[in-house]
Each structure stands twice: as structure tokens, then as C-alpha cells.
């Protein structure tokens, strides 16, 4: 079965850090670009970050640039999101998502995890 499983969410204070993880299975992980997308409570979807299949190309939303770092370990079929200097507005359900396109990105996410909740509050 093709699936993504996120972990690492929780309650953290403003200014602190969290590291999210996402493990893929059922597909050749290192063939695909990966993304993080978040959903704040009662809000819509917000694209957060992208990493290419090799890790050589990375992009961030302006809202997290300079604070979040995306990375991947293809040997472990794993995607990460290091979240520093957390703000209350980072409170959201964070999904990792696989791009549909082999070796490229289309911003088309055909496989999603179940999400991991991050709550930033004092």
C-alpha cells in the first residue's frame, strides 16, 4: 500500500522549535518531489515547502522562509520539516504530500499523509 505517515507534532511555545517527520512506503521514495502543506483550524490549505527528488532544489512559502527547513533522507524514505522560531500563526495540521510527477514537480499531490497537528501557544 502506498502511504505517508507523519509524526512529530505537538504543543510548543512561541519561539521554540519542532521537527516533523514523514515516512513513505509502497513507492520509490527517491523518485519523487515531496511537499509540506498545512491547514490551520477552520481555514483552507496553505502550501509550505517543496524539496526535489534529489534534495537539490528547495522552496518555501514567504510565511515560513528563514524559519523552516525542509530536508529528506532517501535511504530512510523520510521527509523532514525543521520548524524554528514558531509563531501562533503556525498552528495547523501539517500534511506531507507526494508529487504525482516522476522526477519533477507539478504541484500535484497524489498521496497525502494523515497529518500531524502542531499547536503553538503559551
Partner 1 sequence: QSALTQPASLSGSPGQSITISCTGTSSDVGGYNYVSWYQQHPGKAPKLMIYDVSHRPSGVSHRFSGSKSGNTASLTISGLQAEDEANYFCISYTTNSTPWVFGGGTKLTVL
Binding marks (x or -) toward partner 1, 29..68, rule CB under 8 A? ------x-x------xxxx--x--------xxxxx-x---
Looking at the chain, the number of H-run helices and the number of E-run strands are: 0, 11
Closest distance between partner 1 and the C-beta of residue 103, in Å? 15
Q: Do residues 35 and 96 make contact, with C-beta atoms less than 8 angstroms apart?
A: yes
Q: Do residues 118 and 41 make contact, with C-beta atoms less than 8 angstroms apart?
A: no
Among 30, 77, 115, 119, binds partner 1 (CB under 8 A): 115
Using CB under 8 A, count the residues that bind partner 1: 24
Please state, as a whole number, how many other Cβ atoms lie within 10 Å of the Cβ of residue 62. Answer: 6
Cell of 46: 496553505
Site for partner 1, rule CB under 8 A: 35, 37, 44-47, 50, 59-63, 65, 95, 100, 106-110, 112-115
Amino acid at each position: 500500500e502506498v502511504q505517508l505517515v507523519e509524526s512529530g507534532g505537538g504543543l510548543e511555545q512561541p519561539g521554540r522549535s519542532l521537527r516533523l517527520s514523514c515516512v513513505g512506503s509502497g513507492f520509490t521514495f527517491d523518485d519523487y518531489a515531496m511537499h509540506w502543506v498545512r491547514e490551520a483550524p477552520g481555514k483552507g490549505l496553505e502550501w509550505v515547502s517543496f524539496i526535489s527528488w534529489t534534495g537539490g532544489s528547495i522552496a518555501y512559502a514567504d510565511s515560513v522562509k528563514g524559519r523552516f527547513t525542509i530536508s529528506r533522507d532517501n535511504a530512510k524514505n523520510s521527509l523532514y520539516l525543521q520548524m524554528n522560531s514558531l509563531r501562533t500563526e503556525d498552528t495547523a495540521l501539517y500534511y506531507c504530500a507526494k508529487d504525482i510527477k516522476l522526477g519533477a514537480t507539478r504541484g500535484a499531490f497524489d498521496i497525502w499523509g494523515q497529518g500531524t497537528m502542531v499547536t503553538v501557544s503559551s
